[in-house]
Amino acid sequence: METENGTNWLNDEEQRAWRAHLDVSRLLMHQLERDLQPFGLTNNDYEILVNLSESEDHRMRMSDLAAATLQSKSRLSHQITRMETTGLVRRENCESDRRGLYAVLTDRGWETMREVAPHHVASVRQHFIDLLGTQGINALYGSLAPVADHLRTRRKIG
């Protein structure tokens, strides 16, 4: 199973699965980005909007939002500043913790969300979901969920 130097290299099946995952993840992000461009949004913009839209009072603490979107506090801070200048979002103080800030969806942000979401979903369907089929979807989830868990716990630690 191992070559003489002791490394457990990937076999052909492993290799092609790994490359498929890699390729899909990059190509897909690219395609989604392209499909959002006409609306003047990036993937990152959109994900922020989704998270805020689904949250109580259309607001989230910066830290939680950073964690939910898997980006650094710094990156999120810049991102929110940009979105503030485009009027999709505003910052608001948190009185229970005076260090804290909320990112809050503006009316304009909410409107944008309602307009763009259907197109985005269509895009996700066209380029991903609808190509999988029901059993493909469940197979995918079954395979990937444990990996996601592993990586999330690893993240907390590291």
Partner DNA sequence: CTAAAGAAGTTGAATTCTGAACCAATGGAT
Partner DNA sequence: ATCCATTGGTTCAGAATTCAACTTCTTTAG
Question: Is 101 a binder of DNA (CB under 7 A)?
Answer: yes
Question: Is 128 a binder of DNA (CB under 7 A)?
Answer: no
Partners of 60 in beta bridges = 103
Rounded to a whole number of angstroms, the minimum distance from the CB of residue 135 to its own copies is 9
How does DSSP classify residue 104?
E
Which of 64, 67, 106, 128 binds its own copies (CB under 8 A)? It is: 128
CB neighbourhood size of 158 (10 A):
5
Which of 54, 78, 92, 140 binds its own copies (CB under 8 A)? It is: 140
Question: Is 77 a binder of DNA (CB under 7 A)?
Answer: yes
Residue whose entry in the numeric block shows the structure tokens 């763009």: 116
Question: Is 23 a binder of its own copies (CB under 8 A)?
Answer: yes
Closest CA to 52 of 120, 112, 122, 93: 112
Residues 88 and 77: their CA atoms lie apart, in Å, by 14
Question: Is 106 a binder of DNA (CB under 7 A)?
Answer: no
Question: Is 75 a binder of its own copies (CB under 8 A)?
Answer: no
**Phi, psi (rounded to 5 degrees) for 59:** -145, 155
Residues 118 and 74: their CA atoms lie apart, in Å, by 30
How does DSSP classify residue 99?
T
Q: Which residues bind its own copies (CB under 8 A)?
A: 5-10, 13-14, 16-18, 20-21, 23-31, 34, 70, 117-118, 121-122, 124-125, 127-129, 131-132, 134, 136-148, 150-152, 154-155, 158
Q: Which residues bind DNA (CB under 7 A)?
A: 33, 42, 44, 61-64, 66, 71-82, 91, 94, 97-102
